[in-house]
C-alpha cells in the first residue's frame, strides 16, 4: 500500500504521552499512529458490514415454520 506524509497538530502534552506509548510498544510514533488509525477504519468497516447483514436479515425475515401464513386468529390466542 502506498504511503503519504501527513502533518497533524496536537497538544504537546498529548504528543509526549503518545510517544511514550509508541516506545512501550517498540515502534515508531508514525507506525503507532498509523496502526491506531487503521484499527479505527477497520472498526467502522466491521460496523457497516454488521449493519448491512442485519438489514438484509430484516428484509428476508426469519423462518418461523409458518410458511408465511398464520394458522390462528388473535382472539384464539387471547381467549380467557
pLDDT digits (tens, 9 = 90+) for 10-64: 999 999 999 999 999 999 999 999 999 999 999 999 999 999 999 999 998 888 8
Number of domains composing the chain: 1
3-state secondary structure the chain: CCCCCCCCCCCHHHHHHHHHHHHHHCCCHHHHHHHHHHHHHHHHHHHHHHHHHHHHHHHHCCCCCCCCCCCCCHHHHCCC
pLDDT digits (tens, 9 = 90+) for 54-71: 999 999 888 888 877 888
Domain residues for the domain of 27 are 12-60
pTM: 0.68
Residue 70 belongs to a domain: no
Distance CA 43, CA 28 (A): 23
pLDDT for residue 79 is more than 90: no
Residue 34 belongs to a domain: yes
Residue 6 belongs to a domain: no
Amino acid at each position: 500500500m502506498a504511503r503519504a506524509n501527513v502533518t497533524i497538530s496536537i497538544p504537546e502534552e498529548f504528543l509526549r504521552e503518545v510517544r511514550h506509548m509508541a516506545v512501550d510498544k517498540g515502534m515508531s510514533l508514525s507506525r503507532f499512529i498509523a496502526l491506531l488509525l487503521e484499527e479505527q477504519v477497520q472498526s467502522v468497516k466491521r460496523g457497516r458490514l454488521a449493519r448491512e447483514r442485519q438489514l438484509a436479515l430484516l428484509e428476508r425475515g426469519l423462518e418461523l415454520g409458518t410458511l408465511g401464513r398464520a394458522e390462528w386468529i388473535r382472539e384464539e390466542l387471547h381467549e380467557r
